[in-house]
A and B are shown apart, each in its own frame.
Chain A
Amino acid sequence: MDRSDSLLKADRGIIEQLRQGGTDRRRSEEQLFSRFSYFIREGITKHALSEDDAFNAYSDTILVAIENLINAGFEGRASLKTYLYQIFHNKCVDLIRKKTTNKNSVNRSESISDRLLLLSDSSRSVLQKLIDKADWNLLKEKLGSLEDKCRQLLLFWGDNYSDKEIAAMLYYKTADVVKTSRLRCLEKMRRIYNIT
């Protein structure tokens, strides 16, 4: 069977919009969330999760899926529903396991590591130690205290929007202006973070 055959028209539409980026991406993220939100009820009934936990498992599923769909990590071998359900099921199992073993800590090094793949082990180790020292709550607090445009810019950057997309959404003239502004915002962050 052709891979694209297993994808419904609606699924293909959502994936295309996600990959188009910009405001289309935001809309299609919400469409994707709504399309399979009945999984939350399944999390409650089949995995005996609370509504909050089932919602979190499903939201995390969508966040992972968005990233994979944008970065072509999803190959379309299965339907979008099957693909999402597999992730969701694993998230539910993870949640149950974390609850029973009481391991709720966030492993940030893991999520950053894909950016460090090309570095040597020793370089990665140096970096990892420095990153682990960061005060995440303070970083987020300072991020929240930035002026609105700067904060928006960094949030879009963190959400993997390209400078070109950010330029369109936040009304900058060019992607280069976004880049310059982003680096300035980073500098502001450094100043207010270090003052503390």
Chain B
Amino acid sequence: MDTPEYIDHYFKTQPLPEEARLFGEKMESDPVFAGEVAFYLSVFQASREQAEENKKQRFWEIYRKDRDSRNTNRVIKLAYYLATAAVIAGIVFGLYIFISPAPKKQLADQYILKNLQTLGVEMSSRNDSLQNGLRLYNEGKTAESLQQFEKIIQSDTSNFTAKKYAGIVALRLKEYDKASAYFEQLETYTNLYANPALLYQALTLMERNHSGDEAKAKQLLQKVVQDGLDGKETAQAWLKKW
């Protein structure tokens, strides 16, 4: 057995104590042999370290692939969840819009925009104070218009038309208490052919939108419908959306 084979045999097998003793003695007495043993073990160690590095590289590739795939899955899952959430939110919002009651103030605003934005003026040369108040109102001079109608009411306390207009103008000026007061006075004129007093009171409450106003407005609208008063169709339509 030559030296390399001897060294290899020693480290590849389980040497007996006697073999180990002889091997040790040779190492101590023969520096060349000791150098060969050291070289053998050094190359073994270098090979071992290189093999471990290669193995770690293999492990890294496995880890990287797994991590990247997990991250991709996470992004896909997140996108899926976001899309699902967006669809659900859309459905909920749609249902809310479709089922939920319309905001009462919005109904009131729409009514005012459609019916009370301008008030009818008689196309005559007559320049009475009522027409003047209406003209002022239509010109956007609401404060002057209210003054005009209140002047009429002062001079003629039974003028229900002036009270109706005064209530409307006060409503536009967001003077809700004043508007309510005029509409309450208007309500007392029970013999009129058409008296929108209750509808306007409800409208004022819907615009004011204080605590309890909505419930009171609903009661008034129900009365309008029950008694067939002026504005019944409007009251019915609103109650459907209540």
Contacts and interface: CB of A to CB of B under 8 A. Distances in A.
A42 interface: no
* Chain B interface SS verdict (over half): helix
Given A30-B58, A154-B47, A157-B47, 9 more contacts: A37-B63, A62-B59, A130-B34, A130-B38, A136-B46, A155-B51, A158-B51, A159-B48, A190-B39
Contacts of A190: 39
Query: Could you say which interface size class chain B belongs to?
Result: 35 or more
B47 A155 contact: yes
Given A37-B62, A119-B27, A139 B43 contact: yes
Contact of B62 (A34, A112, A139, A183): A34
A93 interface: no
Give 4 closest A-B pairs by Cβ, nearest first: A158-B47, A130-B38, A123-B24, A118-B20
Interface stretch (B3-11, B110-118, B175-183, B214-222): B3-11
14 contacts: A30-B59, A33-B63, A40-B63, A55-B59, A59-B60, A112-B44, A119-B23, A130-B37, A136-B49, A143-B46, A155-B47, A158-B48, A183-B4, A186-B43
A85 interface: no
B148 to A, nearest CB: 78
A107 to B, nearest CB: 11
Interface string B63-79: 10010000000000000
Interface in A138-193: 139-140, 143-144, 154-160, 179, 182-183, 186-187, 189-190, 193
A37 B40 contact: no
A140 B50 contact: yes
B44 to A, nearest CB: 6
Interface string A67-102: 000000000000000000000000000000000000
Interface in B19-60: 20-21, 23-25, 27-28, 34-35, 37-52, 54-56, 58-60
Interface of B: 4-5, 8, 11, 15, 17, 20-21, 23-25, 27-28, 34-35, 37-52, 54-56, 58-60, 62-63, 66
Contact of B8 (A40, A159, A179): A179
B35 A130 contact: yes
Nearest to B44: A158
Given A123-B27, A131-B41, A55 B47 contact: no
A119 B24 contact: yes
Interface in A113-132: 115, 118-120, 122-123, 126-127, 130-131
